Amino acid sequence: MPELDLTGKVAVVTGGSRGLGRQMSLAFARHGATVVVASRKADACAVTAEEITRETGQEAIGLGCHVGDWAQCDALADAVYERFGRVDVLVNNAGASPLYPSLAEISEELWDKVLAVNLKGAFRLSALIGTRMAAGDGGSIINISSIGSIAPSAHELPYAAAKAGLNSLAGGMARAFAPHVRVNTIVAGTFLTDISKAWDMDAFERFAETRIPLQRGGRPEEIVGTALYLASDVSSYTNGAAIVIDGGMTSSR
C-alpha cells in the first residue's frame, strides 16, 4: 500500500492562512510537501508560511490572491510554476458566505461576490493548473464544498448555489483531466473554525444535540485525514468523489 507521503510534492491551498486551510497546509508540510499558502491577505499568508516552515522544516511561501479576480488567479498560477515548476496538489478552499437580511434584499453585488469567491476562482485555478498537471506528471485537485450545497438553508442560498456549482465542476473536471489528474470534493459540515468565535455557542450546542448525530461541531484538524488521503497516492483510484464530513448531519435528514 502507498503511504500518506507527500515528499517532493508542491501543494497550493487557497484560503490557506486560517481555519481549515491552515490545518490542511500544516498537514501537507508535516507529510513532506512544499506548501503555497494563498489568500486575499498576503501578510497573513506570509505569517502562516513562516509558522509552517518553523514547525515542520518544510519550505512554505505565502502569496496574496483574491480568487474572485480572474487575473489574480492567473498571476498565482504563473508565480507558483515560475518558482517551483510544478503543482501536485491544488486545494480550492477559499470561501465566503456574507449574511443578508432577506432573500429579496440580496444585492447583485453580494451575489456576484459570493459566486466569484466560491466558484469562479476555483474554476479558473483548476482549469489553469489542472491543464498543466495533465500535461506533466499529474496531480490531485481537492475542492472544499459544504453541506449547504446538498441541504441548503434560507440563510446561505448564494453560498449554497456556488458550492453546488463547485460539486458539479469536480465531476466534469475529473473526466476532463483524466487519467493523470484526480479531482475530488470534500463536502464539509459545521467546523469550529475562527468564524465560530462570533457564534452563540449555547444555541449552537442545542442545535448540535438535535441535528448532528455526533452532537458537536467538527474540530478543524478533523478534516486533515481526508485531505491527506485525497492529496496522496493512497487515493490513486478515487476520482470524481464527494466525501461528506459532517458528523452525520445530512445522513439523518
In this structure, what C-alpha cell is assigned to residue 108?
447583485
Q: How far apart are CA 85 and CA 74, in angstroms?
A: 15
CA 160, 165, 170, 171 dihedral sign is positive
Instruction: Please give the distance of CA 130 from its chain centroid, rounded to a whole number.
Output: 15
Provide φ and ψ at 215, rounded to 5°. Answer: 60, 35
**Annotated active-site residue in 81, 159, 229, 237:** 159
Instruction: Choose among 191, 189, 110, 142: nearest CA to 25.
Output: 142
C-alpha cell at 13: 491551498
Q: Which of 160, 125, 121, 158 is nearest to 139 (CA)?
A: 125
Distance CA 162, CA 67 (A): 14
**237 carries an active-site annotation:** no
CB 143 within 8 A of CB 101: no
d(CA 137, CA 252): 41
Pairing state of beta strands 139-146 and 89-92? parallel
Active site residues: 159
